[in-house]
């Protein structure tokens, strides 16, 4: 299992819409995340910055790669183009935060 923390940026002024869409998250997307190995997935927002945390089985690349290959993820990503300003680095990778410490 790999813990991952990554960052995204909401388009300024679209924070309420970002929240509304997550309030109505699609059950087929949450099922795809679970089936792909993503667990304990949380999003936190401070202004326009979103901090994401997930536990991935066996690792983040595999779990999110499996999610990325789904049709439901493609639809979700398309739906979010107007509310997310930045989701990845220049090479398409997550903008990760380094783990400093954790308590089990």
Catalytic site positions = 22
Beta carbons within 8 Å of 82's beta carbon, 6+ residues apart: 11, 14
| 60: number of Cβ within 10 Å | 20
Question: Under a CB-based contact definition with an 8 Å cutoff, are residues 6 and 96 in contact?
Answer: yes
Beta carbons within 8 Å of 39's beta carbon, 6+ residues apart: 1, 54, 55, 56, 57
Cα–Cα dist 79/101, whole Å: 35
């Amino acid at each position: 299992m790999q813990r991952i923390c990554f960052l995204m940026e909401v388009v300024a002024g679209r924070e309420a819409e970002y929240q509304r869409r997550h309030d109505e998250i699609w059950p087929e997307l949450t099922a795809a995340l679970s089936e792909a190995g993503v667990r304990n997935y949380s999003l936190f927002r401070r202004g326009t910055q979103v901090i994401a945390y997930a536990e991935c089985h066996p690792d983040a690349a595999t779990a999110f790669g499996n999610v990325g290959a789904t049709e439901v993820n493609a639809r979700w990503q398309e739906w979010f183009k107007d509310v997310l300003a930045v989701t990845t680095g220049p090479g398409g990778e997550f903008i990760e935060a380094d783990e400093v410490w954790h308590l089990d």
